Amino acid sequence: MSAPITIALLGGGTVGSAVAKLLVENSADLAARIGRPIQISGIAVRDANKSRGSIDSSLITTDAQTLAASGADIVIEVIGGIEPAKTLIETAIANGSSVVTANKALLAAHGAELHSKAVAAGVDLFYEASVAGAIPLLRPLRESLAGDKIRRILGIVNGTTNFILSKMYDDGADYGDVLAQAQALGYAEADPTADVEGFDSAAKAAILAGLAFHTNVTIDDVSREGMSKVSALDIAAAKSLGCVIKLLAIAELTDDDKGIIVRVHPTMVPNSHPLASVRDAFNAVFVEAEAAGQVMFYGRGAGGEPTASSVLGDVVAAARNKVAGSVDPGQSDYADLEIHSIGEAKTSYYLNLRVADESGVLAAISNEFARHGVSIQAVRQDDVGDEANLIIRTHSATDQDLHATVVSLRNMSEVHDVLGVMRVENGVSS
Amino acid sequence: MSAPITIALLGGGTVGSAVAKLLVENSADLAARIGRPIQISGIAVRDANKSRGSIDSSLITTDAQTLAASGADIVIEVIGGIEPAKTLIETAIANGSSVVTANKALLAAHGAELHSKAVAAGVDLFYEASVAGAIPLLRPLRESLAGDKIRRILGIVNGTTNFILSKMYDDGADYGDVLAQAQALGYAEADPTADVEGFDSAAKAAILAGLAFHTNVTIDDVSREGMSKVSALDIAAAKSLGCVIKLLAIAELTDDDKGIIVRVHPTMVPNSHPLASVRDAFNAVFVEAEAAGQVMFYGRGAGGEPTASSVLGDVVAAARNKVAGSVDPGQSDYADLEIHSIGEAKTSYYLNLRVADESGVLAAISNEFARHGVSIQAVRQDDVGDEANLIIRTHSATDQDLHATVVSLRNMSEVHDVLGVMRVENGVSS
């Protein structure tokens, strides 16, 4: 073994502390797997006075910029957010360091720019931990499925919303109550907007879509709808239809293979689908590929140690490349597919309508669906006092036709109220 | 783009045909992902007269040895079995070709020898398709989890037995009937021994254990018990305990981290475990790692196209390395852990005993467990005519102590019959 691989760590929060701990505890194994010993050259933190356990205090600095510029073999960025993370990563790349980051927001906004800087500088830029925490996902998509053609990715990539939706399902409770409980347990932030309104899932959807379809995708390309409006009534309706509700990140090829659609929204998922049994704070990503068929990756999506596991996997890969004098091929965007809006996505809808209980109503409503080219798969009618309740499940149609149908229904005098509307995923065949 | 990456394909069966088809159909995408075009230099088959669809007939040869020696950039071996596959792969390596194989039997018997030949020749030897068909698994274990410490792997890695066990569960049918049905559907071979007696799972367990624990493991190191003795009574008992029965391949660290145990046997798995819902011919591998926690990989374990998807992922990786003039680090066996037998494994048992229905019997039986240091977790007693039925679930103990307890129970006059004995997996906490 010769000179060590030097590692600069930017960030001393939950993930940074777990990364430092694993680097120290597993150093003998890491050295054996890399072929050279590793050495932490510095740890940039916000508060230098905080106790850091077994970490040598001489490694601690508050000057992240100088550490990023120090020319370490590998710079790990686990600060999060756009700035100063972006400038620090650019500094590291400019100084010949390979970069490992867990920063989904940054990758989803400026991924293409950072990837081309890394390629130009001949360094690696790895970010396995940015999507679905501990789950090995980006590397398998980029490498193991590289000889296949991915058609669709469906992901539960946000643990907070999955925890809330699981609780709502189990307890029949309303969103507000379960959110308060999740906040008390530390599963949701004081300001839960990024999670519950789907921004976090949208960033991850952009990263997954870019990798799967070899196209630059940013968070602005993602059609996004949060889950804060999912009601106990929706959950009950899902149960009656043999479904659960999940906030899904979906990236898919259009039918002509020339475009992609990337979207995040609450979705009814049949109990028989492997994603339906992914509960609580767990994440999972379901991939449909032409030759491989259906593949699913499951595990913890967040937390210090799980995220650190992914960061260290990237560190080993980047370190092996440094030892071999090679770099991985940069992020590929050769396909450059057109990105379409959710309106063109083919989906199926569930609707819950309160209607007048008189003859001809079902015919009038059915006509409205037909007029928009939407075909009804199933209807269940229940009398409720002197009104009737219609639970309708449609066949697959474009989202814009379905949306237009709902707008028209709301304007019909026979329709007293639209109690629920949600997209429904089809089951999978074994 | 410059000179093409040349690919020689050895094997024209189900997998070989699917590989050839994907190489042809996806050639533009493959070229973009690799950075150079690909070119099939030859396909070695047994029967040159068989129609091969769109494959250029001038590529077909029956002389596998000459094709293996042709110095192609990459040689794909999908013939299977030990010979001539072993000699062909050695020939390819000796001629500077990187090798991609789906051959579990060969890797589980002679992996270490082939890996060191590949390292000495400076070529890659990849084998993602050898375990769990389409599921990206070996690369994530080797790379994404390389910074973590794997403690345990539990896999459903044989689709035939999982199909049979799923059917037995659904229909309450006996093994023999379901096997006949599986054979009629093409899910089981005319001679099902390799699948149902666990040899196939044992080969895959050896490969997984070697990768996860950086130790040379062969199929001879695996404790193996098939599933042909699983009865409808066992399935019913599993149901009553809230479990399903799966044939699991298990590789685990011993408590002192200095040894490993690798075993294949039928196992009761609680319904709440993610592996319990892996049904029919699907495969899944559940990994417990120190930092990542629980991770699961799910998908199709066999079939031409799914297996070909994995083969092509390896082809892209090997081709990129050829373009970059690099090779992956060889299979690592630095840890060289001692391999223990199943007797030292910590497991929990289910037992179904027919006993005399008289006072003192439960005390006598409990004493027999205690004498062997095995603690009972739960007992259910049902009267059956003038006998009684005891369903016993033990706490975790060494397999040898549990086995010795069962031997003693069989010799007790109060125990009229041992109707069922099976190992039970613990559930997982979310």
Spatial distance between the Cα atoms of A153 and A205, rounded to a whole number of angstroms: 9
CB within 8 Å: B143 and A313: yes
Return the residue of B nearest to A21 by Cα.
Answer: B291
Would you call B16 an interface residue with chain A, using a CB distance cutoff of 8 Å? no
Average of per-residue pLDDT across A87-114 = 97
Would you call A330 an interface residue with chain B, using a CB distance cutoff of 8 Å? no
- Interface probe for B, chosen from A148, A215, A310 (most Cβ of B below 10 Å), is A148
CA B399 to chain centre: 21
Of B140, B300, B430, the CB nearest to A293: B300
In DSSP terms, A2 is beta-bridged to: none
The domain segmentation of chain B, as residue ranges, is 5-134+304-324, 146-299, 345-424
User: What b/e string do you get for B125-147 counting C-beta neighbours within 10 Å, with b at 16 or more?
Assistant: bbbbbbbbbbbbbbbbbbbbbbb
Please choose, from the candidates B1, B217, B8, the residue with its C-alpha nearest in 3D space to the C-alpha of residue B96: B8
Structure tokens at A125: 């830029």
Would you call B376 an interface residue with chain A, using a CB distance cutoff of 8 Å? no
Q: How far is CA A322 from CA A35, A115, A139, A344, B119, in A?
A: 10, 18, 18, 45, 18
Spatial distance between the Cα atoms of A215 and A210, rounded to a whole number of angstroms: 5
Average pLDDT of chain A to the nearest whole number = 94
Would you call B151 an interface residue with chain A, using a CB distance cutoff of 8 Å? no
User: For residue A329, is the peptide bond before it cis, meaning its omega torsion is within 30 degrees of 0?
Assistant: no
Q: Give the pLDDT of residue A430.
A: 42
Higher per-residue confidence, B332 vs A128: A128
Indicate whether A92 pLDDT > 90. Answer: yes
CB within 8 Å: A316 and B143: yes
Indicate whether A417 pLDDT > 90. Answer: yes
B246 is catalytic: no
Q: Is A46 exposed, middle or buried (0-12, 13-18, 19+ CB in 10 A)?
A: exposed
* Other residues' Cβ atoms within 10 Å of the Cβ of residue B279: 20
**HEC assignment per residue over chain A:** CCCCEEEEEECCCHHHHHHHHHHHHCHHHHHHHHCCCEEEEEEECCCCCCCCCCCCHHHEECCHHHHHCCCCCEEEECCCCCCCHHHHHHHHHHCCCEEEECCHHHHHHHHHHHHHHHHHHCCCEECHHHCCCCCCCHHHHHHHCCCCCEEEEEEECCHHHHHHHHHHHHHCCCHHHHHHHHHHHCCCCCCCHHHHCCHHHHHHHHHHHHHHHCCCCCHHHCEECCCCCCCHHHHHHHHHCCEEEEEEEEEEECCCCCEEEEEEEEEEEECCCHHHHCCCCEEEEEEEECCCEEEEEEEECCCHHHHHHHHHHHHHHHHHHHHHCCCCCCCCCCCCCEEECHHHCEEEEEEEEEEECCCCHHHHHHHHHHHCCCCEEEEEEEEECCEEEEEEEECCEEHHHHHHHHHHHHCCCCEEEEEEEEEECCCCCC
Residue A149 has phi, psi (to 5 degrees) of -120, 110
Structure confidence by residue, pLDDT tens digits, A169-207: 999 999 999 999 999 988 899 999 999 999 999 999 999
What is A345-424's CATH number, 1.10.10.10, 3.60.15.10, 3.30.70.260, 3.60.120.10? 3.30.70.260
Structure confidence by residue, pLDDT tens digits, A272-308: 899 999 999 999 999 999 999 999 999 999 899 999 9
Give percent above pLDDT 70 in chain A.
99
Structure tokens at B216: 């040379």
- Give B153's Cβ-side CA count (13 Å radius): 30
Distance from CA of B330 to the nearest CA of A (A): 10
CB within 8 Å: B147 and A30: yes
Q: Which of B86, B104, B204, B246 is catalytic?
A: B204
Average of per-residue pLDDT across A247-259 = 96
> ipTM score of the complex?
0.92
Q: Looking at beta carbons, which residues of chain B come within 8 Å of A320?
A: 329
Structure tokens at A149: 């053609």
Q: How far is CA A364 from CA A333, A359, B210, in A?
A: 49, 10, 66
Average of per-residue pLDDT across A378-397 = 92
Q: Give the pLDDT of residue A53.
A: 77
On whether the CB atoms of residues B101 and B283 are closer than 8 A, the answer is no
CA A123 to chain centre: 26
Q: Domain A146-299: give its CATH code.
A: 3.30.360.10
User: What b/e string do you get for B202-231 counting C-beta neighbours within 10 Å, with b at 16 or more?
Assistant: bbbbbbbbbbbbbbbbbbebbbbbbbbebe
Structure tokens at A395: 């066949």
**HEC assignment per residue over chain B:** CCCCEEEEEECCCHHHHHHHHHHHHCHHHHHHHHCCCEEEEEEECCCCCCCCCCCCHHHEECCHHHHHCCCCCEEEECCCCCCCHHHHHHHHHHCCCEEEECCHHHHHHHHHHHHHHHHHHCCCEECHHHCCCCCCCHHHHHHHCCCCCEEEEEEECCHHHHHHHHHHHHHCCCHHHHHHHHHHCCCCCCCCHHHHCCHHHHHHHHHHHHHHHCCCCCHHHCEECCCCCCCHHHHHHHHHCCEEEEEEEEEEECCCCCEEEEEEEEEEEECCCHHHHCCCCEEEEEEEECCCEEEEEEEECCCHHHHHHHHHHHHHHHHHHHHHCCCCCCCCCCCCCEEECHHHCEEEEEEEEEEECCCCHHHHHHHHHHHCCCCEEEEEEEEECCEEEEEEEECCEEHHHHHHHHHHHHCCCCEEEEEEEEEECCCCCC
Would you call A151 an interface residue with chain B, using a CB distance cutoff of 8 Å? no
Return the residue of A nearest to B281 by Cα.
Answer: A430
- Alpha-carbon torsion, ordered A168, A171, A177, A180, to 10 deg: -80
Spatial distance between the Cα atoms of B342 and B267, rounded to a whole number of angstroms: 14
On whether the CB atoms of residues A181 and A168 are closer than 8 A, the answer is no
Q: C-alpha angle with apex B352: B349 to B353, nearest 5 degrees?
A: 120
Please choose, from the candidates B202, A58, A318, the residue with its C-alpha nearest in 3D space to the C-alpha of residue B210: B202
Confidence of residue A428 (pLDDT cuts 50, 70, 90): low
Same fold, A5-134+304-324 and A146-299: no
Q: Looking at beta carbons, which residues of chain B come within 8 Å of A143?
A: 136, 139, 313, 316-317
Whose tokens are 């072929």? That residue is A35
Would you call B332 an interface residue with chain A, using a CB distance cutoff of 8 Å? yes
Q: Looking at beta carbons, which residues of chain A come within 8 Å of B280?
A: 430
On whether the CB atoms of residues B268 and B247 are closer than 8 A, the answer is no
Spatial distance between the Cα atoms of A3 and A39, rounded to a whole number of angstroms: 9
Distance from CA of A31 to the nearest CA of B (A): 10
Q: Would you tell me which residues 53-72 of chain B have a C-beta closer than 8 angstroms to some C-beta of chain A?
A: none
Q: Would you tell me which residues 200-229 of chain A have a C-beta closer than 8 angstroms to some C-beta of chain B?
A: 214
Q: What's the one-letter identity of residue A273?
A: H
Would you call B336 an interface residue with chain A, using a CB distance cutoff of 8 Å? no
Spatial distance between the Cα atoms of A170 and A302, rounded to a whole number of angstroms: 22
On whether the CB atoms of residues B278 and B257 are closer than 8 A, the answer is no
Structure tokens at B346: 């910590």
Spatial distance between the Cα atoms of B23 and B27, rounded to a whole number of angstroms: 6
Q: Looking at beta carbons, which residues of chain B come within 8 Å of A129?
A: none
Q: How far is CA B33 from CA A60, A133, A141, A374, in A?
A: 41, 26, 12, 40
pLDDT one digit per residue (tens) for chain B, 430 residues:
579 999 999 999 999 999 999 999 999 999 999 999 999 999 999 988 888 777 888 999 999 999 999 999 999 999 999 999 999 999 999 999 999 999 999 999 999 999 999 999 999 999 999 999 899 999 999 989 999 999 999 999 999 999 999 999 999 999 999 999 999 988 899 999 999 999 999 999 999 999 999 999 999 999 999 999 999 999 999 999 999 999 999 999 999 999 999 999 999 999 989 999 999 999 999 999 999 999 999 999 989 999 999 999 999 999 999 998 989 887 888 999 999 999 999 999 999 999 999 889 999 999 999 999 999 999 999 888 899 999 999 999 999 999 999 999 999 999 999 999 999 998 665 4
Distance from CA of B419 to the nearest CA of A (A): 33
Spatial distance between the Cα atoms of A306 and A86, rounded to a whole number of angstroms: 24
Q: C-alpha angle with apex B185: B183 to B189, nearest 5 degrees?
A: 30
Of B147, B298, B315, the CB nearest to A296: B298
Structure tokens at A184: 């008390």
Spatial distance between the Cα atoms of B393 and B270, rounded to a whole number of angstroms: 13
Q: For chain A, how far is it from start to end, CA to CA, in angstroms?
A: 50
Confidence of residue A427 (pLDDT cuts 50, 70, 90): low
Would you call B1 an interface residue with chain A, using a CB distance cutoff of 8 Å? no
Structure tokens at B275: 């592996």
Spatial distance between the Cα atoms of B274 and B36, rounded to a whole number of angstroms: 41
Q: Looking at beta carbons, which residues of chain B come within 8 Å of A163?
A: none
Residues in chain A: 430
- Structural class in CATH, domain A5-134+304-324: alpha beta
Q: How far is CA B118 from CA A73, B90, B98, B111, B214, in A?
A: 28, 9, 8, 11, 17
Average pLDDT of chain B to the nearest whole number = 94
